[in-house]
Amino acid sequence: MTEALTNWARNVTFSTARLHRPASVDELQQVVAANSRLRALGTGHSFSTVADTTGDLVSVMDLPKSVVVDPERGTATVSAGMSYGAVAGQLHAQGWALPNLGSLPQISVAGACATGTHGSGRRLGCLASSVSGLDFVRADGELATLSRHDADFSGAVVALGSLGVVTAVTLDVVPTFDVRQVVYNGLTRAAVAERFDEAMDSGYSVSIFTDWQSETTRVWRKERVGSGGGDLDPEWLGATAATVADNPVPGVDAGNATEQLGVAGPWHERLPHFRLNFTPSNGDELQSEYLVSREHGAAAFEALDRVRDRVAPALQICEIRSIAADNLWLSMAQGRDSVALHFTWFDDVAAATAAVGAVEQALEPFAPRPHWGKLFTITPEVVRDRYELLPDFQQLRRRLDPANKLGNEFVDRFLGGPGN
């Protein structure tokens, strides 16, 4: 390619104009082996420069697509470049499901797992926690496979693309199930702070939305149900069930969002916030996100409430979710049940940067871990200090990519360069 490459939200222009799209694993191996500097590109939904490179980019989107279920093991091996929405549709058709999905079904399986992307649910881990196996091309061009019984596995799943180019991912699956989605309006910010755990644990997957201006919040509660669902609770914690469809982002057409009003439907048509065939979120935006320990969730909410006047002018919407702890070395939820505080900003870098500063200052007492694919200004030294297993990852990285072919400026700053 010769034109400048940009990501999904257009806030990152890549440092290279050369993108490889191999059509086979053999061709991918040749691309990896032939390049001295290379990064894998997913669906381009990152708002940080995690995928940028001064070398070449490579996409696995054109590799053969497949979803192969192993019913005896309860797993499905899927092509890495497929979107979660495409994978979910095929799984459901075969009677299977993933435990959880992110807000956007458009993101690729490999890219989402590599950056620790998540949905919501007190007992549900990030998307990468469902990974039980990885097939990838190493920096030397050779194929490799890792599974949960391998010592390197927990360091390789969330690796920011720095250990290899993933070609296939094996995921844990469960029998397909139905979900109903109910939106509650009018839950006050004071009630959220006072009954934070109760609110977050009130459904299979729960998201609280606030613009930090209104005194009330909106709660999207997703519940697992049998076919046909059940009766709605018209009132809950002083909030009222919506009678018309909503969109998480104010001012965006509700038709872009997944079906609500308590109508039961397949898991993959309810767990995301946005429909597969529509523009996800707003599209003209910037994003930041921070994970804190679940025990600090209410206090973190109150801390943000105190700086809302500095945050609200730059904000489209803030979403609060919960994620179960995992053992993946670079996951934002590694070792601690977590609360995620997500911010969708207006597409104004100066205003968003100022608001990010206020958010980070408010959350500092709770040792937040920023999402690898979002905007943040926390220093590399502080970020590194919040991952106690980072030294193990650095050792793994030196072993699998001694020449730092798959690194970039972002990875080297936040994970430590090859000499560390």
Statement: residue 419 has pLDDT above 60: no
Q: CATH topology for 67-175? A: 3.30.465
CA dihedral of 179, 325, 298, 355, whole degrees rounded to 10:
-90
Q: CATH top-level class for 178-380?
A: alpha beta
Q: How confident is the model at residue 168 (pLDDT cuts 50, 70, 90)?
A: very high
180 and 264 Cβ atoms separated by less than 8 Å = yes
User: What is the arithmetic mean of pLDDT over 212-238?
Assistant: 84
C-alpha 321/C-alpha 364 separation (Å) is 19
Statement: residue 302 has pLDDT above 80: yes
C-alpha 238/C-alpha 225 separation (Å) is 24
Average pLDDT value over all residues in the chain = 92
Q: Which residues of 183-220 are buried (b: 16+ CB within 10 A; e: fewer)?
A: bbebbebebbeeebeebbebbbbbbbbbbbeeebbbbb
Statement: residue 341 has pLDDT above 70: yes
Statement: residue 253 has pLDDT above 90: no
Q: For 359-397, what is each residue's pLDDT tens digit?
A: 999 999 999 999 999 999 999 999 999 999 999 999 999
pLDDT computed for residue 133 by the predictor: 98
User: What is the arithmetic mean of pLDDT over 175-203?
Assistant: 96
Statement: residue 228 has pLDDT above 90: no
Supply φ then ψ for residue 63, to 5 degrees. -65, 155
C-alpha 407/C-alpha 417 separation (Å) is 8
What CA–CA distances, in Å, run from 60 to 63, 80, 144, 171, 377? Answer: 5, 7, 16, 18, 30
pLDDT computed for residue 63 by the predictor: 97
| Per-domain boundaries in the chain | 67-175, 178-380
C-alpha 290/C-alpha 371 separation (Å) is 6
User: What is the arithmetic mean of pLDDT over 320-347?
Assistant: 97
